[in-house]
Structure 1
Amino acid sequence: MSTATTEKGSAPKRVDPAVLYISVTVSALFVAWGVFFTDNLGSVAEATLARVIENFGWLFVLASAGFVLLAAVLAFSRFGSIRLGKDGDRPEFSTVSWVAMMFSAGMGIGLMFYGASEPLMRMSSPPPGTAEAGTDDAARVALEYSYFHWAIHPWAMYAVAGLALAYFGFRKSGNSLISSAFRPLIGDRVDGPLGKSIDILAIFATLFGSAVSLGLGALQINSGLNSLWGIDDSTALAVSIIAVLTLMFVLSALSGVHRGIQWLSNGNMILAALLLLFVFVVGPTVFILNSQTEAMGGYLASLPKMSFMTGAFGGGEWLSGWTIFYWAWWISWTPFVGTFIARISRGRTIREFIVGVIIAPSVVSVVWFAILGGTALNQELHGGKLSEAVAKGEEAGLFATLENLPWFPITSVVVIVLVGLFFVSGADAASVVLGMLSSRGSMSPSRPVVILWGVLTGLVAAVLLLAGGLEAVKQVAIIAAFPFLFVMIGMCVSLVKALSAEPRVKQPAVRDDGGAKTPEFLADKETVA
């Protein structure tokens, strides 16, 4: 999402002082904590995470499975025909444009970072009880779990959040605030301290979730510079990269060249597609096709079991470091991605919305891991020793894979450029959403507020790297997402309650000539069963 998605010609609304000042103050205190008491921040985050995982890891697992089930029920029930808007509204964008824009709010930096490294790490350390490390079975399981972590489950979370925001925003004439989705549950209290607290939790989830992506991006650029020119990996260099890219974002925001950012985002997707095509053609093409087919079958067959694993009978440490981290990371992104998807979905039916939001991006994620992950696994199975590079740093996986293919200097530069552009456009998008949440839901938050949030996001990412590198980044993401998990559950309850009050639409009555009468709303306002 770029600031180009704001409403044209609309004047920025004034900020909500309570939401803005409280959230900025707490965020600034966090940054100060990391700067002046770095070691203490790292130890506290580690201890807090251990408590959250030990006591509530099951809730992350159960809730994520619940979001998938809820999305499926809503899509294929009678609710599926309800429009996100008035009954006469039709989609604002064509389906092709709609799907293309969803990709701009997706998982760019994460896919670049984990596309090759996650399958390699899972092959070296598969989930307990699944396969022997380093074997062909471990490689297959590695792809299955990559699909599990990046396909249906995360996009179901985004779909549920985006659906609630689009439904209350367009059909119930609400606003873009997360709190507006709670009106059926708490009534006018959404306009008071309780509603503001919900929006503040959404701000923290978005801030720290975005900081994770920026931290991953800085580490990967650092690794690319090392692979190309031998520049040593260091936390100081990663922090410097964050500073430079954050400055680029600020300059773009100040210049107001939002069309340029939108053009760069679209170009980024084309460049990523070309990289995938190149690896598919020059890499082990037949192996990619075979492994993708087999892993997809295994993923679909094992999906129910995977979805409810909590580590109660072993493997808890593995789950907390991977599956639960991912569920928390995706939950922290739901305010950002959900808001954007809702913004571009007016006029679609609930069925169209859910199927489009879940299926199309899931297919992209599967293709991404099939090509990059499949290539990396093939190299590892044939003595490539990529796992040794990944053991030194997860960010090295993609570069280690590309180094064994032609034109490595060119492809590695392409990766660095891609990550940098994902960083700038991602900071731009997240900052606009943070500005909206702190400006009473305005689609046109003021430029100073947007810049303020962009700078704070960069500072949080830098502080987390200083406090413990990648592990600290992951830890704080889960901690920040934990309270927002309850917000997500509340949104689902509120959405179902509001949908149940929707008037039922009569099925078309068939005429003798085979035609159909125009459906009408039931006069007695009978609710959907």
Structure 2
Amino acid sequence: MGDVISDDYQTDYVAGQDNIEKFGFDIHNIVFPLTAILIVAFVVGTLIFPAGAKELLDSAKNGAIAVFDWGFLLSANLFVVFCLALIFMPVGKIRIGGLDAKPEFSLLSWFAMLFAAGMGTGLMFWSVAEPVAYYTDWYGTPLGVEPNTAEGARLAMGATMYHWGLHPWAIYAIVGLSLSFFAFNKGLPLTIRSAFFPILGDKVWGWPGNVIDTVSVLATIFGLATSLGFGAQQAASGISYLFDIEGGLNIQVGVIAGVTAVATLSVIRGIHGGVRILSNANMIMAGLLLLFVIFAGPTLAVFQWLWDTSVSYASNMFSLSNPFGREEDTTWFHGWTVFYWAWWISWSPFVGMFIARVSHGRTVREFVTAVLIIPTIITLFWMSAFGGGALNQVQNEIGVLGSEGLTEVSLAMFQMLENISLSGITSFIGITLVLTFFVTSSDSGSLVIDSITSGGKTDAPKAQRIFWAVTEGTIAGVLLFVGGEQALNALQAGALSVGLPFTLVLLVMTYSLFKGLHHERRLLIAEGKMV
């Protein structure tokens, strides 16, 4: 058998083969200019017609969500099942980079980077705001449960955990594992198109691959710019709340400028000297804040919420994952779950590719466990402490949340912390975490875009990294300053609209990964290196 199994992943293409080197840049001849033209056209059009752009893109987004809600949910379910299966399948023993590959980063640094890139900032705001919103019927309730009841509280926590648990991380894991496997085991360029080589062969280096990479860059930069713009508004609200100053447009643009400046310095230093250090610092601060909230807050209630949330998440997962017969909670289902799934999918090229970049030397089983299971467990503790603590305040009429409910998403975390000891210090740490998580997302995204637009190179010139870091901040700042919230909403709708076509891309990528892993296992068995 060993003589008949061959490696049919050979290609004459190398990373950067179609590149142009000029003005200190090393860019792919098609993807970079095409992406730049589309970005400029979109930004200019949005600034000239912010209301029209928002209306048009909202229609596209809402149409995709309303018509293909079943596609988003069933696809996400498939990704979870596939990833869980990989942990137990024989292919789980395959090592990314080959049998003798060694991890580039320590286990803690590796996990800190993938978690910070994946969803660090979102957890800071939504871990408090989301369960309170569901419990008080702020915008619908999950499965039509009665709001302001004990069952409503448990389901609010379970549904929040559902949105931030296995499903989003499975989406990231599919992309991350596909790219790392085909780049480090098969020697293909580290770019999205490489994951489709088992299906398309050398055609991936032509127009189909150019389309895949261009869409991936647009989804990444629009998603990052949107998050940076809205995040600046949220951070400015927190600064205003904490220091009693006006959190207007100047503060918001200042936040964007500051985050962009630090992110630029980080990408100049690279993954080891920039992203890794910031991610480690983030996780240390987040861990300390979590422990403080658990033990300075209602400790017994938090541990009770840990149990209730786990049970609610597990027992309601099938109902929440079922797209059919949801008439009782259509508003909630479309406005929250399907919206989240489209958002995670639109972010998957960025997060998945960054995870791939830092995962050399890990086995498939180790990769999936670290990307899927461990973040879900940590998120469960985080949600139980912050979300459960917030619901405890609402139910017992403590503080602003208890008296007024959810008034503004960006302030919910600070309003919750206000009723715990040392609220000034914890709120300051919270703002710092928000800003540093934005920095790690921005610099990680810049490195990813840089790799795609350079044809899969991981060592493109520093000037190119700086260009993309500054471009992200400039898009967010200009849209916010000139077009206001309408322009940012249009950009967000554009990023979400990419979620539908990219769902199909992920489904094909899943099959391609399955095919590639089994091909690799047969090769290793044939060579006597695996049983």
After superposition, what is the alpha-carbon deviation per residue over 1:185-224, rounded to whole angstroms, capped at 9, x for unaligned?
1110111111111111111121122223313421221111
**Conserved? CA contact 1:136–1:381, under 8 Å:** no
Please state how far the C-alpha of 1:52 moved relative to its aligned partner.
1.1
Gaps (5+ residues) in structure 1? 1-10, 506-519
Structure-1 separation of matches of 2:60 and 2:423: 42
The structure 1 residue matched to 2:338, chosen from 284, 307, 324, is: 324
The equivalent residue for 2:37 is 25
1:435 has 2:453 as partner: no
1:315 has 2:329 as partner: yes
Q: Among the aligned pairs, what percent are the same residue?
A: 38
1:476 has 2:494 as partner: yes
1:521 has 2:525 as partner: yes
The equivalent residue for 2:195 is 181
After superposition, what is the alpha-carbon deviation per residue over 1:131-159, rounded to whole angstroms, capped at 9, x for unaligned?
21122222211110111011111111111
Structure-2 separation of matches of 1:483 and 1:316: 23
Gap change, CA 1:230 and 1:88, over 3 Å in 2: closer
The equivalent residue for 1:493 is 511
Write out aligned runs for 1:410-425 (5 A). Answer: 410-425=425-440
The equivalent residue for 1:114 is 126
Please state how far the C-alpha of 1:68 moved relative to its aligned partner.
0.5
Secondary structure of 1:340's aligned partner = helix
After superposition, what is the alpha-carbon deviation per residue over 1:342-365, rounded to whole angstroms, capped at 9, x for unaligned?
223233322222122111111111
> For residue 224 of structure 1, what is the amino acid of its counterpart?
G
Question: Cα RMSD over matched residues?
Answer: 2.8
The equivalent residue for 1:207 is 221
After superposition, what is the alpha-carbon deviation per residue over 1:291-314, rounded to whole angstroms, capped at 9, x for unaligned?
110120121122122222356534
Gap change, CA 1:390 and 1:342, over 3 Å in 2: farther
Structure-2 separation of matches of 1:355 and 1:524: 26
Gap change, CA 1:366 and 1:470, over 3 Å in 2: farther
Gap change, CA 1:142 and 1:234, over 3 Å in 2: farther
Structure-2 separation of matches of 1:340 and 1:223: 30
Gap change, CA 1:115 and 1:503, over 3 Å in 2: closer
The equivalent residue for 1:303 is 317
**Conserved? CA contact 1:222–1:233, under 8 Å:** yes
Structure-2 separation of matches of 1:330 and 1:253: 24
Please state how far the C-alpha of 1:239 moved relative to its aligned partner.
3.8
Structure-2 separation of matches of 1:69 and 1:27: 36
Structure-2 separation of matches of 1:270 and 1:358: 21
Gaps (5+ residues) in structure 2? 1-20
The equivalent residue for 2:363 is 349
Secondary structure of 1:105's aligned partner = helix
Structure-2 separation of matches of 1:170 and 1:129: 44
After superposition, what is the alpha-carbon deviation per residue over 1:89-138, rounded to whole angstroms, capped at 9, x for unaligned?
35444544433443332311111121211111111125354421122222
**Conserved? CA contact 1:245–1:420, under 8 Å:** yes
Secondary structure of 1:347's aligned partner = coil
**Conserved? CA contact 1:235–1:469, under 8 Å:** no
**Conserved? CA contact 2:113–2:275, under 8 Å:** no
Please state how far the C-alpha of 1:252 moved relative to its aligned partner.
5.1
Please state how far the C-alpha of 1:441 moved relative to its aligned partner.
1.0
Gap change, CA 1:196 and 1:356, over 3 Å in 2: same
> For residue 281 of structure 1, what is the amino acid of its counterpart?
F
After superposition, what is the alpha-carbon deviation per residue over 1:27-86, rounded to whole angstroms, capped at 9, x for unaligned?
112111222221112211221222111222221111111100111222222322223232
> For residue 323 of structure 2, what is the amino acid of its counterpart?
M
The structure 2 residue matched to 1:406, chosen from 413, 421, 430, is: 421
Secondary structure of 2:118's aligned partner = coil
Please state how far the C-alpha of 1:246 moved relative to its aligned partner.
2.2
Structure-1 separation of matches of 2:143 and 2:282: 39
The equivalent residue for 2:263 is 249
**Conserved? CA contact 1:159–1:338, under 8 Å:** yes
The equivalent residue for 1:71 is 83
Comparing 254-263 with 120-129, greater Cα deviation is found at: 254-263
Structure-1 separation of matches of 2:402 and 2:171: 31
> For residue 432 of structure 1, what is the amino acid of its counterpart?
L
After superposition, what is the alpha-carbon deviation per residue over 1:380-421, rounded to whole angstroms, capped at 9, x for unaligned?
101134177664321111011111122222222212221111
The structure 2 residue matched to 1:219, chosen from 207, 227, 233, is: 233
Please state how far the C-alpha of 1:377 moved relative to its aligned partner.
0.7
**Conserved? CA contact 1:61–1:324, under 8 Å:** yes
The equivalent residue for 2:394 is 380
Structure-2 separation of matches of 1:288 and 1:19: 49
The equivalent residue for 1:279 is 293
Secondary structure of 2:145's aligned partner = coil
**Conserved? CA contact 2:87–2:364, under 8 Å:** yes
The equivalent residue for 2:6 is none
Gap change, CA 1:154 and 1:406, over 3 Å in 2: same
Structure-2 separation of matches of 1:202 and 1:453: 14
Gap change, CA 1:476 and 1:389, over 3 Å in 2: farther
Structure-1 separation of matches of 2:352 and 2:43: 26
**Conserved? CA contact 1:214–1:461, under 8 Å:** yes
**Conserved? CA contact 2:393–2:402, under 8 Å:** no
Q: TM-score, normalised by structure 1?
A: 0.88
Gap change, CA 1:411 and 1:481, over 3 Å in 2: same
Structure-1 separation of matches of 2:519 and 2:476: 43
Gap change, CA 1:257 and 1:154, over 3 Å in 2: closer
Please state how far the C-alpha of 1:285 moved relative to its aligned partner.
0.6
**Conserved? CA contact 2:309–2:380, under 8 Å:** no
Please state how far the C-alpha of 1:233 moved relative to its aligned partner.
4.7
After superposition, what is the alpha-carbon deviation per residue over 1:416-457, rounded to whole angstroms, capped at 9, x for unaligned?
221111222221111111111100111122223222222332
Gap change, CA 1:167 and 1:261, over 3 Å in 2: closer
**Conserved? CA contact 1:130–1:141, under 8 Å:** no
Gap change, CA 1:495 and 1:522, over 3 Å in 2: same
Gap change, CA 1:339 and 1:146, over 3 Å in 2: same
Structure-2 separation of matches of 1:288 and 1:361: 19
> For residue 107 of structure 1, what is the amino acid of its counterpart?
M
Question: In the comparison of the two structures, how many residue pairs are matched?
Answer: 503
Secondary structure of 1:15's aligned partner = strand
The equivalent residue for 2:74 is 62
Secondary structure of 1:404's aligned partner = coil
Comparing 451-460 with 251-260, greater Cα deviation is found at: 251-260
> For residue 500 of structure 2, what is the amino acid of its counterpart?
F
**Conserved? CA contact 2:198–2:515, under 8 Å:** yes
Structure-2 separation of matches of 1:145 and 1:475: 23
> For residue 456 of structure 2, what is the amino acid of its counterpart?
G
